[in-house]
Structure 1
Amino acid sequence: MLNVESYILLLLALIVCGKWIAFILMCPLLVAFRIRKEKSWKSSENQHNRTADKPDEAETCATDRTPTRKSFLHKVLQTPQYYFFGYRRYIDFQVGLIPSHTIRNFIYRKIFGVKLGKMATIYWGAEIRDHHKLKIGRGTIIGDHVILDARNGIEIGDNVNFSSNVHIWTEQHDHRDPDFACNSSAAFKVTIGNRAWIGPGTTILHSVNIGEGAVIAAGAVVTKDVEPFAIMAGIPARKIGERNHNLRYEFNGYPAPFY
């Protein structure tokens, strides 16, 4: 017979491990859902029209729906998909806190579908939306506690350096819309060129292209395209200088352990 201490230890083990047991059981469903979304995304890209692949309803802005009266049956049928979308958001946060780059990268690549280049690093606490629309190049370093909103696509080049707390947003509310709806467009994609340096606490808004080797200073808000090798600062970001054009460094892909 187990004593009280053994029961307590068993309960604690179930609490700690339970979410990962559930995640392993959910993996086939998560992969199947991701593959379906990737096919829809690629099809819409080929047609230059992403209206067929709007963000999942539970992942759009909360008010992006005109209130309507729905039948009880309709609500019951919708409930599982809302919980599934919510679970995907929850497990994304949990994966970002796993103290192992190897495990995190495996999940990002194989389960969530991030196009993650060789020797690329995503540090602790990342939040990613629509993983399968995120591409990160070879040797790129993504700092801790970043938010990568890839709902309309994010493409990051090689040997890019993200400092901590960088936010990229590819979707937003329309303040002119009477229902405060979210806009979604192919033109909202964000691209970042090779060897750019994105400083700590910066925010990059939708539709922005940042050129090769550009530097975004700490706390800047980027609202427009940035030319290659420009140094940008301020809110909104403005050019304050120019960087050396003869860049040749390459990051080696050896991240800090457990972080």
Structure 2
Amino acid sequence: MALLTEQQLQALGFKALGRKVRISDKASIYNASNISIGDNVRIDDFVVLSAGSGGITLGSHIHIAVYTSLIGAGAITIGDFANLSSRVSVYSSSDDYSGESMTNPCVPEEYKNVTHADVVVEKHVIVGCGSVILPGVTLHEGVAVGALSLVTKSCPSFGIYAGAPARFITERSNNVLNMEHRYVNTLNSSNSDK
């Protein structure tokens, strides 16, 4: 995977850009001035970040895998240590599918009934391959979403959810919080040695 250089990243004009950000030169970035990225973030080939008026905020230590998309007018926030597997789709906007209005961006707004709602993916969330997250959903800290799931409602912390629509399967271990503490202490001690 060829990565954008530091100069290319700066030239995109992000709202904020952390350290050790690795973005594929095959990723597509729209409205970079509405996108904030923390430290140690990796964005792979064919990812689409399309920030609307609400913007996209990525924390630190995040991986966004191939073919994943974050799209919509509402805010999309991805917390620290989150992982979006390949082909995940996160939507903060959605057309009305009822037939009561027209759809798609090629139709004037007055003929459409688009829902815009913020999406939040909190710390230590992992979303499995091919999953879809719809507007208004919050995946609380430590949630795991199984592959090919359709997430239509918010999911409480440290649960494993799967299916279409996604439903609670079982609890998830919160040991990742202990691991985070150890990892952050290691980072802090290595930074103080410099």
Match of 2:32 in 1: 112
How many Å separate the matches in 1 of 2:169 and 2:129?
A: 17
Aligned: 1:213 with 2:142: yes
* 1:175 CA displacement: 2.9
- Following the alignment from structure 2 to structure 1, what is the Cα–Cα distance between the partners of residues 146 and 13? 28
Give yes or no for contact 2:128–2:145 (8 Å, CA) kept in 1.
Answer: yes
Q: How many residues align?
A: 153
Q: Which of 142, 145, 152 pairs up with 2:64?
A: 142
Unaligned runs of at least 5 residues, structure 2: 16-30, 104-111, 185-194
Structure with the higher strand share, 1 or 2: 2
TM-score by length of 1: 0.54
Asked if residue 100 in structure 1 is aligned to residue 3 in structure 2, the reply is yes
* 8 Å CA contact 1:112, 1:131 repeated in 2: no
Query: Could you tell me whether the CA contact under 8 Å between 1:128 and 1:149 is conserved in 2?
Result: yes
Instruction: Give me the whole-angstrom Cα distance separating, in 2, the residues matched to 1:238 and 1:141.
Output: 24
The equivalent of 2:161 in structure 1 is: 232
1-structure distance, mates of 2:13, 2:68: 15
2:170 paired with 1:241: yes
**Higher radius of gyration, 1 or 2:** 1
Any runs of at least 4 consecutive aligned residues in structure 1 with deviations exceeding 3 A, and if so which? 101-106, 248-252
Matches within 5 A, 1:39-118: 99-103=2-6, 105-106=9-10, 107=12, 109=14, 112-113=32-33, 114-118=35-39
The percentage of aligned residue pairs carrying the same residue is 26
Q: Does 1:190 align with 2:95?
A: no
**Superposed CA RMSD:** 2.3
For 2:52 and 2:94, locate their aligned partners in 1 and report how far apart those are by CA, in whole Å: 18
Deviation string, structure 1 residues 73-108 (Cα, Å, up to 9, x no partner): xxxxxxxxxxxxxxxxxxxxxxxxx82144564336
Q: Distance in 1 between matches of 2:92 and 2:165?
A: 17
TM-score, normalised via structure 2 length: 0.71
Give the partner amino acid of 2:165: P
* Equivalent pair of 2:69/2:88 in contact (CA under 8 Å): yes
Structure 2 SS opposite 1:247: helix
2 CA distance for matches of 1:156 and 1:122? 13
Q: Give the Cα–Cα distance (whole angstroms) in 1 for the partners of residues 64 and 91 of structure 2.
A: 15
In structure 1, what is the Cα distance between the partners aligned to 2:41 and 2:154?
Answer: 24
Q: Which runs of 5+ in 1 are unaligned?
A: 1-97, 253-259
Structure 2 contact 52–75 (Cα < 8 Å) conserved? no
Provide the C-alpha distance between the structure 1 equivalents of 2:49 and 2:113, rounded to a whole number of angstroms. Answer: 18
Cα distance in 1 for residues equivalent to 2:161 and 2:122: 15
1: CA distance, partners of 2:68 / 2:141: 21
With over 3 angstroms needed to count, the CA separation of the structure-2 counterparts of 1:159 and 1:102, relative to structure 1, is farther
3-state SS, counterpart of residue 170 of structure 2? strand
Aligned pair partner of 2:80 in 135, 141, 158: 158
- Tell me the SS of whatever aligns to 2:14: helix
Q: Within the alignment, does 1:201 sit opposite 2:121 as a pair? A: no
Which one-letter code corresponds to 1:127 in the other structure? V
Q: Relative contact order, CA 8 A, sep 6+: which one is greater?
A: 1
CA contact (8 A) 1:128 1:150 kept: no
Aligned counterpart, 2:21? none
| 2:46 paired residue number | 125
